[in-house]
């Protein structure tokens, strides 16, 4: 698999459109499109950014004979899920405290926003686990 195919797969597996990925990498959508069809390669700093963004090695991105192993991907996803589960325990305890007194003050409102964001992130991780298990 070449760079173009790997980038396309990573983008799709992680649920990004070309436009959203371009925003994250501070490039144009057309640049991402050219990378994905293989007409151009990104500059070195962008390859590093892609590597960091998708948490893959530069070797993986550039060398055609290196493939991420299914078990490696699943292991990373499970580790993220376990971290999210630990966060859920803390969130649950805090939520019980907020509900217990029946009054939500400004600090608790802010924490409720944090809870909402955390739950959204956990939902994304669960989707990722489901997708990886289907591979």
Rg (CA), the chain: 19
Q: Specify the pLDDT at position 98.
A: 78
Query: Quick one: 9 and 49 in the same domain?
Result: yes
Query: Quick one: 80 and 40 in the same domain?
Result: no
| Cα–Cα distances in angstroms (integers) from residue 43 to residues 1, 4, 28, 48, 49, in the given order | 20, 14, 13, 9, 10
Query: Quick one: 50 and 84 in the same domain?
Result: no
SS3 11: helix
Q: Specify the pLDDT at position 60.
A: 85
In which domain, by residue range, is 41 found? 3-62
Query: Quick one: 91 and 115 in the same domain?
Result: yes
Q: Specify the pLDDT at position 26.
A: 95
Query: Quick one: 116 and 95 in the same domain?
Result: yes
Low-confidence ranges of the chain (pLDDT < 70): 65-78, 132-135
Query: Quick one: 83 and 104 in the same domain?
Result: yes
CATH number at residue 16: 1.10.260.40
Average pLDDT of the chain? 82
Give the total number of structural domains in the chain: 2
The tens digit of pLDDT for each residue in 48-84 reads 999 999 998 888 888 876 555 554 566 666 677 777 7
Q: Specify the pLDDT at position 107.
A: 83
Query: Quick one: 53 and 74 in the same domain?
Result: no
Answer whether 70's CB lies under 8 Å from 77's CB.
no
Q: Specify the pLDDT at position 125.
A: 79
Q: Which of 27, 24, 26, 21 is nearest to 8 (CA)?
A: 21
């Amino acid at each position: 698999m070449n760079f173009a195919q790997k980038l396309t797969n990573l983008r799709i597996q992680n649920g990004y459109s070309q436009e959203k990925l371009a925003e994250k990498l501070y490039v144009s959508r057309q640049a991402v499109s050219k990378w994905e069809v293989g007409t151009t390669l990104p500059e070195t700093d962008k390859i590093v950014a892609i590597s960091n963004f998708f948490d893959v090695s530069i070797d993986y991105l550039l060398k055609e004979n290196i493939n991420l192993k299914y078990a490696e991907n699943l292991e990373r996803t499970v580790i993220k899920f376990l971290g999210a589960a630990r966060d859920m325990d803390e969130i649950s305890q805090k939520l019980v405290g907020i509900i217990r007194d029946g009054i939500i003050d400004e600090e608790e409102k802010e924490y409720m926003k944090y809870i909402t964001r955390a739950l959204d992130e956990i939902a994304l991780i669960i989707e990722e686990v489901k997708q990886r298990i289907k591979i």
